Amino acid sequence: MRTFITCALSILVAANAALIAQSPATQNATGRVTAVAADSITIQTSTETLTLFVDSSTKVIGKGVGTITGRLKAEGRSAVVADLVQQYDSVRVKYGPSADKGPRAAEIRIVVKAVRK
């Protein structure tokens, strides 16, 4: 029985390693948002300007995101990135290649919200 469990775990580890090797490389970037559109976000990092494609599967995390999403849902519409992320917000973004539109943001984490006047 112990041999069977060891063998099964070895197969699972090997399969997981193969899946990780096949997945496209994810990169991280931290910077300040310079522009937000319905289908893209542009951030200025310390070394470059990145414009990343966003879609309905892009996850946005940050203080107040759930409240805004709930309010928009109550109004009968879905939240888009432009509703949640604003210019001058400091963000940390996980991104990778997409099939057709260039780099795609998989996750946008709002680190510091910009001060609104």
Domain for residue 11, yes or no? no
Domain for residue 19, yes or no? no
pLDDT at 4 over 60: no
How much is the pLDDT for 2?
64
- CATH number of the domain where residue 92 is located: 2.40.50.140
Number of structural domains the chain divides into: 1
The tokens for 37 are 């559109």
Domain for residue 9, yes or no? no
Domain for residue 18, yes or no? no
pLDDT at 90 over 60: yes
Compute the average pLDDT of residues 61-80.
91
pLDDT at 76 over 60: yes
How much is the pLDDT for 98?
81
Domain for residue 16, yes or no? no
